[in-house]
């Protein structure tokens, strides 16, 4: 079992100069969904995602030697240049939980400035981009201070492990194009503890895939994903769901390797609807889709039947719709989106996105 506890990562504070590190990390869209967890952010079933490009979080972490003598986390947090106390408390708790992995965190005064290119808490996996960006900052700090993460593969693996502890889906954002999280016999090296890269296991058509995100609502969703995961504990369909996710994953991996768009799209749509079906069948039940969401889904299916173009939808835990299609039909699909789907969106807002190359240090 991977164990990153390291009591030796202690700074000689008198020699530490103030500094900063900045990472941009993308969100990701799970095709086979992760919904239901156990233990310390461990998944009930494996998931696979496409790494996005335009939907990202920029996180700048500035540090200096702590002025006080205690080892409690000292943090100022700004979201879009405004102090955000709820976010600060969450990050403090997260960093406190990491002090056995990064003991030097208790020796620093830290200021974090973070911002998204898309609405947070609205079902576009903002915690995935935010927590992965922060995890990358922490690993960069360790390598800068101690030179312990100069191997790129080990750096990414530890960043994925640490990101998972903040938000499960964040562990997948570390890698370009596609990533799989969760132990699965068909993928050597896969683990519940961190994600593994899948870029070399997917057909070229998926490396250039588009994911245009239609903003039905930018408001924070009524039920947080963390609460939604918890409700799976008493969901009568939970065990059947976890078994079905593994079955679908097998077919999806084959489809993504071969470039089978029809199978890919069918699974993507079924997974999206299953996710929301689980929400509606829980106790208490809840609905995150809105009437405009349903209208968009219906129209996408009608358009696919009428045009023959391989255009599909997916949903995360929110009302906003991901429109999925290959690069070679973009000139037909974009006018369809603009003319027929944007009227259902909040102020005709959408984010033109595509499969990306993963995080970048700024």
Strands (E), the chain: 19-32, 37-38, 42-43, 47-65, 74-79, 82-83, 108-116, 178-181, 195-197, 210-214, 312-315, 321-325, 350-351, 360-361
CATH 3.30.230.10 fits 13-202, yes or no: yes
CB 194 within 8 A of CB 171: yes
204-250 pLDDT tens trace: 999 999 999 999 998 888 888 888 999 999 999 999 999 999 999 99
CB 32 within 8 A of CB 241: no
SS3 (DSSP) at 329: helix
Residue 334: name the closest of 323, 348, 345 by CA.
323
The three state secondary structure string of 283-319 is CCCCCCCCHHHHHHHHHHHHHHHHHCCCCEEEECCCC
Dihedral of CA atoms 132, 138, 139, 142 in degrees, nearest 10, equals 180
Residue 204's alpha-carbon distances to 283, 307, 327, 348, in angstroms, are: 42, 23, 11, 31
Q: How many helices (H) and strands (E) does the chain have?
A: 9, 14
Residue 69: the pLDDT is: 80
Residue 352: name the closest of 338, 301, 101 by CA.
338
Give the angle 122-42-258 at the CA atoms, nearest 5°.
75
Residue 123: the pLDDT is: 64
Residue ranges of the chain with per-residue pLDDT less than 70: 1, 121-123
Residue 121: the pLDDT is: 63
According to DSSP, residue 212 is labeled: E
The domain locations on the chain are 13-202, 204-351
Identify the burial level of 263 via C-beta atoms within 10 angstroms of its C-beta, where 0-12 means exposed, 13-18 middle and 19 or more buried: middle
Q: Which residues contact 268 (CB under 8 A, 6 or more apart)?
A: 31, 312, 313, 314, 324
- Superfamily grouping for domain 204-351: GHMP kinase, C-terminal domain (3.30.70.890)
SS3 (DSSP) at 42: strand
Residue 267: the pLDDT is: 98
Residue 124: the pLDDT is: 75
Buried-exposed string 89-100: b where 16+ CB fall within 10 A, e elsewhere: ebbbebbeebbe
């Amino acid at each position: 079992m991977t164990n990153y506890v390291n009591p030796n990562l202690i700074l000689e504070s008198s020699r530490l100069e103030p500094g900063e590190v900045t990472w941009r990390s993308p969100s990701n869209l799970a095709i086979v969904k992760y919904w239901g967890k156990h233990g310390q952010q461990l998944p009930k079933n494996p998931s696979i995602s496409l790494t996005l490009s335009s939907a990202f979080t920029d996180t700048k972490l500035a540090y200096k030697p702590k002025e006080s003598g205690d080892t409690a986390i000292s943090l100022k947090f700004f979201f879009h240049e405004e102090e955000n106390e709820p976010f600060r408390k969450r990050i403090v708790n997260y960093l406190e939980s990491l002090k056995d992995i990064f003991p030097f965190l208790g020796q620093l005064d830290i200021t974090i400035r973070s911002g998204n290119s898309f609405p947070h808490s609205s079902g576009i996996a903002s915690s995935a981009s935010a927590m992965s960006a922060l995890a990358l900052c922490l690993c960069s700090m360790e390598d800068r201070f101690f030179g312990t993460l100069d191997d790129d593969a080990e750096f990414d693996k530890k960043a994925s492990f640490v990101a998972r502890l903040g938000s499960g889906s964040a562990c997948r954002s570390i890698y370009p194009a596609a990533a799989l999280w969760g132990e699965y016999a068909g993928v050597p090296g896969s683990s519940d503890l961190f994600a593994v890269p899948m870029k070399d296991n997917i057909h070229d058509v998926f490396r250039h895939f588009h994911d245009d995100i239609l903003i039905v609502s930018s408001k924070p969703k009524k039920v947080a994903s963390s609460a939604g995961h918890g409700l799976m504990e008493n969901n009568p369909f939970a065990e059947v769901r976890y078994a079905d996710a593994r079955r679908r994953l097998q077919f999806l991996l084959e489809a993504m390797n071969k470039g089978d768009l029809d199978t890919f799209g069918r699974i993507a749509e079924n997974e999206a609807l299953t996710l929301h079906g689980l929400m509606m069948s829980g106790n208490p039940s809840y609905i995150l889709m809105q009437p405009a969401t349903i209208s968009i889904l219906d129209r996408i299916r009608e358009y696919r039947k009428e045009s023959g173009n391989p255009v599909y939808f997916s949903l995360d835990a929110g009302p906003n719709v991901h429109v999925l299609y290959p690069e070679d039909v973009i000139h037909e699909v974009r006018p369809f989106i603009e003319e027929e789907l944007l009227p259902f969106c909040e102020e005709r807002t959408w984010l033109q996105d595509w499969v990306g190359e993963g995080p970048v240090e700024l």
